[in-house]
Amino acid sequence: MRTGLLAGLVALAVAAYAVVALTRGVPPATVVAVPVSGAFPGPPPALAWPDQGEAAAGVEGVGLIGLHGSARPTPIASVAKVMTAYLVLRDHPLGSAGNGPMLTVSPADVGVYRGDLAAGQSVVAVRAGEQLTERQALEGLLLPSGNNLATLLAGWDAGSDAAFVAKMNARARALDLARTHYADASGVQGGTVSSAGDQVRLAILALEVPAFAQIVAMPEATLPVAGRQYNVDGLLGRDGIVGVKTGSTSQAGGCFVFAAHEPLGGRTVTVVGAVLHQLATRAQPSIIEGAFHASTTLLASISRDVVRLKVVRRGTTLAWVKAPWADPVAVRAAATVSLLGWPGLPIHAATATARHPATPLHAGQSIGTEVVTAGSQRAEVGLVTARSLPQASLGWRLTHP
């Protein structure tokens, strides 16, 4: 009798253990990411920087390749009109084929024109009562670089030149252009200053506005009173250059912010650069020609360093799924990721998956993404399991209380 009782108690204990073992929670499977970081290989870019002034270069959608010179604020002359046009188009957007509202030239606008002309400034002829579309006013601002049209657009947008300049500086602060300050809408005043790096960043943003990109790429435009007006960008159409803006005064020297479509890394990209404060030399007495020469030399050197790199290859293990009841399962990239860059540009990656994925998992199952960045570029690649991961078996659960 005692033996039967003992056997019953043992059976009861075993049954109770089994019930507890089979109903208790199982430790979850856990995703453990493989750290991914690095940089584009090779020695630092050796760009052909100008011998004087300051310069910067970058690639649209990626970022700045490098800066050269003091990076201190320096007068930028008519390069300031990039911000003028950008702000007008921000406040009064134009469609790709839109002309915008009409602006009527007032007697005061004619007075500004005459005053600027007498001062030897760059102007576009206007007449009282003349009507210009917004697009035509911007064409006169950006192509022949009419200082008087900068004043006209400023008054139209903000009510006065002073109010518009305040908006320009507010926008510069919002864009973190820390070395940029505007004293006027045209750039003729020496107090309108910036750095090459700031102007590259601004030009990249401005080129994202279709109407701006269209206008700066125009070789000429015809205005109601002034007639045919030519783009003062003497490099337009050469070496892939599609804009952006020249500037020159005795204080600023020769300045040029340029954009060029270049076949780099297996596709066409937009290279943006800025060359500021180029002064006359015995070999190059023209300050604007000096800026042009420095820009083309810099542009030619960029193509040597910008490449497209496979930063993640299909099948690369980027994480592991670990569970106490099975061997770890590799989580691999479902595709190859290629990004544009240059030697030294950092590469970062972060795994975006559920921390504890539900099991079972089957081979090739998608369980998240890997986010890869290089400069301003961001790419996502799917993550898939290399093999299956079963649920915890009855045997394992019974032997792992």
- Residues with catalytic function: 78, 81, 145
* Distance separating alpha carbons of residues 41 and 268, to the nearest angstrom: 22
Residue 135: which H helix or E strand, with range? Answer: helix 134-142
* Distance separating alpha carbons of residues 269 and 299, to the nearest angstrom: 13
Secondary structure, 3-state, 351-387: EEECCCCCCCECCCCEEEEEEEEECCEEEEEEEEECC
Secondary structure, 3-state, 58-71: EECCCEEEEEECCC
* Distance separating alpha carbons of residues 363 and 369, to the nearest angstrom: 16
Residue 375 dihedral angles phi and psi, to the nearest 5°: 65, -130
Query: Rg for the chain (alpha carbons), in Å?
Result: 32
Tokens matching residue 289: 């020609």
* Distance separating alpha carbons of residues 365 and 349, to the nearest angstrom: 21
Task: Fill in the DSSP letter of residue 57.
Answer: E
Residue with tokens 């998240």, as numbered in its chain: 368
Task: Fill in the DSSP letter of residue 79.
Answer: G
Q: For the sheet containing 377-385, what is the strand order?
A: 30-33, 317-323, 326-333, 377-385, 366-374, 346-353, 37-39
Class of residue 394 by CB neighbours under 10 A (exposed 0-12, middle 13-18, buried 19+): exposed
How many other β-carbons are positioned within 10 Å of the β-carbon of residue 6? 10
Of 200, 251, 212, 257, the C-alpha closest to 64 is 200
Whether residue 360 is preceded by a cis peptide bond, meaning omega within 30 degrees of 0, is yes
* Three-state SS at 286: coil
Of 74, 281, 315, 302, the C-alpha closest to 187 is 74
